[in-house]
Amino acid sequence: MATIRLTAAQALVKYLSAQLGADGEPLCAGIWAIFGHGNVAGLGEAMAASELPMLRGHNEQGMALAACGFAKATRRARFQAVTTSIGPGATNLVTAAAVAHINRLPLLLLPGDVFASRRPDPVLQQIEDFSDATVSANDTLRPVSRYFDRIARPEQLLAALPRAFAVLTDPAECGPVTLAFCQDTQTEAYDWPQSFFTPKTWRVRRPATDAAELEEAVVLLETAKSPLIVAGGGVHYAGAGAALAEFARRHNIPVAETQAGKGALTAAHPLNLGAIGVTGSAPANAAAAEADVVLAVGTRLGDFTTGSWAVFRHPGRRLIGLNVQAFDAAKRFASPLVADAAVGLAALSAGLGGHRAADSAALGLMDDWRATVAAVTAPGNGVPTDAQVIGAVQRSLGAQTMVVGAAGGLPGELHKLWQVQAPGTYHLEYGYSCMGYEIAGALGAKLADPAREIVVLLGDGSWLMMHAELATSVAMGMKLIVVLLDNGGFGCIDRLQRGTGGQRFGTMLQHPGQMDFAQQAAGLGAVAMTVDGIAELESALASAHSFDRSVVIVLRTDAGASTEAGGHWWDVAVPEVSGRAEVNAARTAYVAARQNQILGE
């Protein structure tokens, strides 16, 4: 057997380079790195001699969030890896790993680890568990990893790396993989089989339907009087947008979209009712209330989608879970249809033949809803609202521009109001609602599609949480247009606090207006400007096209305003006992609203 002598780190990098996607390109599109004593001498040396791109960030969490944005923008077709030293660098990965886990995104984490030999223990930054010597800081990544392994001997990579790629490329198991790499092991040599580095092509599996599950789903849809499709992120990952559009058209079934599924159909599709749930449109939520059969396609059915399981109100409502992951397909007593979204829709359509559902009454509400959207997003007097900012951005930028957001009040407004005109242009991380994702995630999306204009919408809270990767975007020449809404703190949580009977407490800045966000952005190398009002914002957006580097536009907005139209109740627990009359009143309303939750079949 032919062998090649390499260090464990060199072998890992060589293996990554040899794993190919269906297009013949390496599945791993590069390795983000901040080097420290736990990875610089091992992985650092190996990466320097490799053709894999090395991507340098400014914060470990930011690098991993950028990798999440990259994977999401490529619809999981490719991924990026992230290496850190052990210690703060490794634990900084936990939040981003949770983002990848909840959004089912491929992410390879390669944190350095303690010495496998234990000769110098405890080394700098080593966490010591008094009762378990096998624990290190990297064990914090176990609950947010789909697959976790600690590499303490070089030859362990022979089993660990194929297993890692099996997870990263599996449509059902996809998520973050952590290979905690002991720093001495990284530098140790081994005689590797040459065959281990033979190029391998990984193809996405598309599971077909089970005959019995398919038959049950077809019968349910054939007998439904008011069916509804709920499209989730799995539609995008499966590349099933066209299949969904054709299925809806052929069988006359309206479609509502989750946050992750938004854009599965364009806004102009005649059967697209828009967003569903807590941040949903009036037509979509009306259809949900009347639906006797709900076909949930590629969605994990989070509480924002289901209105905390109160949006589906038909007493005999049945749920069909078309999902590649059995865990999701069977949620809430659903009739599971475990399959790839595109394959499953095709099988359902064949089973239904020429069957067409009756016209949905909710479609008759769409003209009024479009008029509402136009009204709330139109320019107004006074301090602009989030909705008016969204309208200005939509009017100013082209149909192919991608909008990126993540946390605060903006995702809800975008879910309701943004009109998706082209596939791949709506990029919201709302599974984990991660403050600080916005700029880092947008950078990853830009790396996935450098020719596309990308606009980032975020609030001052998310900006202050994490904006270091703005400097990375400037250094890389990856231009972003950032619209920063200065509303004086955590505006959406302030509204929630007061909406549940509380008094303003700890949500807003004590002295708003004292920070110069534009100056901060300029200091990171971006073009920066502060504007006043919607007209100035639109002018600034028009000029942003002419700059060759990232642009940050700062705008003061109204912290108290949100779009009242549409939406749905959300289960946020209210104190049972309080000295505030407002809280007691909110508790009474809360208990009454909970009666609408349907927890069984």
CATH code of the domain containing 55: 3.40.50.970
Same domain? 43 vs 24: yes
Residue 370 identity (one-letter amino acid) = R
Q: Which of 201, 235, 258 is the last residue of a domain?
A: 201
Same domain? 306 vs 331: yes
| pLDDT given at position 598 | 77
Same domain? 189 vs 292: no
| pLDDT given at position 601 | 56
Q: What H or E segment, with its residue span, contains residue 311?
A: none
Does residue 260 sit within a domain? yes
Does residue 582 sit within a domain? no
Does residue 535 sit within a domain? yes
Does residue 562 sit within a domain? no
Does residue 579 sit within a domain? no
Same domain? 10 vs 77: yes
| pLDDT given at position 506 | 84
Same domain? 31 vs 133: yes
Same domain? 354 vs 490: no
Does residue 73 sit within a domain? yes
| Beta-bridge partners for 335 | 320
Same domain? 359 vs 396: no
Asked if 521 contacts 473 with a C-beta cutoff of 8 angstroms, the reply is no
Q: Which of 326, 342, 366 is the last residue of a domain?
A: 366
Q: Is 585 left (phi over 0), alpha (psi -120 to 50) or beta?
A: alpha
Same domain? 334 vs 218: yes
Same domain? 315 vs 175: no
Does residue 154 sit within a domain? yes
Does residue 141 sit within a domain? yes
Domain that holds residue 520: 378-556
Specify the number of domains making up the chain. 3
Task: Enter the tokens of residue 540.
Answer: 């600034």
Q: Which of 366, 391, 426 is the last residue of a domain?
A: 366
Same domain? 255 vs 325: yes
| pLDDT given at position 332 | 87
Same domain? 349 vs 405: no
- Along the chain (601 residues), what's the average pLDDT of each consecutive run of 10 residues? 96 98 94 96 96 95 98 97 96 98 98 95 91 95 98 98 98 98 98 98 95 98 98 97 98 98 97 98 98 98 96 94 97 95 98 97 97 96 95 95 95 97 96 96 98 97 95 98 92 83 82 85 97 97 95 94 92 93 93 84 56
| Beta-bridge partners for 19 | 200
Contacts of residue 393, Cβ cutoff 8 Å, sequence gap at least 6:
403, 455, 457, 483, 537, 541
In whole angstroms, what is the distance from residue 488 CA to residue 558 CA? 9
Same domain? 539 vs 398: yes
